């Protein structure tokens, strides 16, 4: 029985033997997990025991940002082989659902997503996963980068929803991990410049080191004032709201140019009011993002081509034996931390 990182209940983690379904179906692969990222949702389940309607009612294995090595393939699997280095898309939809048939499987009500109650996650030595949602990594892409594909896929989804035109100017409100991923995806998607706003200067320093990104510390200058100055009072072509903070959401219309686009990426804990008239007065197009669909291949290709470098966003890597300490550090929310990763033992 494998040792896994188990969320026993709100506020209690343990490393212990835990029974998991390891039956390999004909279209599945068995993967030895190598690297797993600590996500904000994992931390939220740890500290709050729930996210919206998803409640931890019984022990659950955490983790959904993962890479590893294929160690067994199902009889019908053709595109993967034992020894392949891979990353795994954690949300598995019902292929027969209407959402899947429409190509929007990320909003399939029946999706089974790692570490979302009651589905167990991947902070365990081995997982069985559908081959269709398992992606080979190029040799020069590390396991650490492979485990970053999942959060980067959210940024990719946001950039694609924005329908970026070459040369667009974008604003990202919120320099958390997803805000940073979105900024990098927007650059890769064709933006000439991306402004990132936040309260935390250490995070702005990290993302501001990338060419094409400028930062706005809203403790010093309101984002609307900075964008007005940078665009001759016109506004940004695209505004990505990634903070989930009510003041930022309310201020979004002030950042956009007439006829521009708003993409809501951050998820507020509670409902927030919205400036409808502010949107209408500029005829702003509003898009929303929930996870991602059909972007993993593109994300891996951008990383492999060197168009996107996610390595500077990996703040700390710890061994699996110290994974509880890694979660406790993530709970601290240090301004210098972006992504904490856990390395699984190699047997």
Same domain, 120 and 58: yes
255: containing domain: 155-288
Residue 1 has pLDDT above 80, yes or no: no
Task: State the pLDDT confidence band at 118, using cuts at 50, 70 and 90.
Answer: very high
Query: Which residue has better confidence, 342 or 54?
Result: 342
CATH of the domain at 202: 3.40.50.720
Interval 274-330: pLDDT, tens = 899 999 999 999 999 999 999 999 999 999 999 999 999 999 999 999 999 999 999
CATH of the domain at 51: 3.90.180.10
Same domain, 10 and 100: yes
Domains held by the chain: number: 2
Can you give the pLDDT at residue 83? 98
Same domain, 211 and 325: no
Residue 155 has pLDDT above 80, yes or no: yes
Can you give the pLDDT at residue 213? 98
> Structure pTM?
0.95
Residue 26: CB partners within 8 Å, gap ≥ 6? 74, 75, 76, 77
Same domain, 284 and 326: no
Task: State the pLDDT confidence band at 269, using cuts at 50, 70 and 90.
Answer: confident
Task: State the pLDDT confidence band at 217, using cuts at 50, 70 and 90.
Answer: very high
Can you give the pLDDT at residue 2? 84
* Residue 148: inside a domain: no
- For residue 102, how many other CB atoms are within 10 A of its CB? 11
Note whether 249 and 241 are within 8 A (CB): yes
Task: State the pLDDT confidence band at 238, using cuts at 50, 70 and 90.
Answer: very high
Same domain, 15 and 120: yes
Q: What is the mean pLDDT of residues 141-158?
A: 98
Task: State the pLDDT confidence band at 53, using cuts at 50, 70 and 90.
Answer: confident
Q: For residue 98, what are the CA distances in angstroms to 131, 143, 245?
A: 21, 34, 33
Q: How far is CA 132 from the centre of its chain?
A: 20
Residue 141 has pLDDT above 90, yes or no: yes
* Residue 149: inside a domain: no
Same domain, 22 and 87: yes
Q: What is the mean pLDDT of residues 79-93?
A: 97
* Residue 79: inside a domain: yes
Q: Kindly report which listed range (28-32, 69-73, 271-275, 302-306) carries the lowest average pLDDT score.
A: 271-275
Can you give the pLDDT at residue 21? 87
Can you give the pLDDT at residue 52? 82
Outline where the chain has alpha helix (H). 40-48, 98-101, 143-162, 177-188, 201-208, 223-230, 246-255, 276-281, 296-304, 323-332
* Residue 298: inside a domain: no
Q: What is the mean pLDDT of residues 83-88?
A: 98
Q: What is the mean pLDDT of residues 224-250?
A: 97
Same domain, 65 and 118: yes
Q: What is the mean pLDDT of residues 119-144?
A: 97
- For residue 56, how many other CB atoms are within 10 A of its CB? 21
Same domain, 335 and 258: no
* Residue 281: inside a domain: yes
Can you give the pLDDT at residue 239? 98
């Amino acid at each position: 029985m494998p040792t896994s990182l188990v969320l026993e209940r709100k506020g209690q983690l343990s490393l212990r033997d835990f029974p998991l379904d390891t039956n390999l179906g004909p279209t599945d692969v068995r993967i030895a997990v190598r690297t797993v990222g600590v996500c904000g949702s994992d931390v939220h389940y740890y500290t709050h025991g729930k996210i919206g309607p998803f409640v931890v009612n019984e022990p659950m294995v955490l983790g959904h940002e993962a890479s590893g090595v294929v160690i067994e393939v199902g009889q019908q699997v053709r595109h993967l082989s034992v020894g392949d280095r891979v990353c795994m898309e954690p949300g598995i939809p019902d292929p027969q659902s209407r959402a899947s048939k429409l190509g929007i499987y990320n909003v399939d009500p029946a999706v089974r997503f790692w570490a979302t109650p009651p589905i167990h996650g991947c902070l365990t030595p081995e997982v069985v996963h559908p081959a269709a949602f398992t992606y080979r990594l190029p040799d020069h892409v590390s396991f650490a980068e492979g485990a970053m594909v999942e959060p980067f896929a959210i940024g990719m989804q946001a950039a694609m929803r924005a329908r970026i035109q070459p040369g667009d100017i974008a604003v990202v409100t919120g320099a958390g991990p997803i805000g940073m991923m979105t900024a990098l995806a927007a650059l890769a998607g064709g933006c000439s410049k991306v402004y990132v706003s936040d309260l935390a200067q250490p995070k702005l320093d990290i993302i501001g080191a990338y060419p094409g990104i400028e930062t706005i510390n809203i403790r010093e200058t309101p984002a609307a004032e900075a964008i007005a100055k940078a665009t001759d009072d016109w506004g940004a072509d695209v505004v990505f709201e990634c903070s989930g903070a009510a003041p930022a959401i309310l201020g979004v219309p002030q950042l956009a140019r007439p006829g521009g686009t708003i993409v809501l990426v951050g998820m507020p804990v509670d409902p927030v009011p919205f400036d409808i008239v502010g949107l209408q007065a500029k005829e702003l197009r509003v898009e929303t993002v929930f996870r991602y669909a059909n972007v993993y291949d593109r994300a891996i290709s951008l990383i492999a081509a060197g168009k996107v470098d996610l390595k500077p966003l990996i703040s700390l890597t710890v061994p699996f034996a110290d994974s509880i300490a890694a979660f406790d550090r993530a709970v601290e929310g240090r301004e210098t931390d972006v992504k904490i990763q856990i390395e699984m033992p190699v047997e």
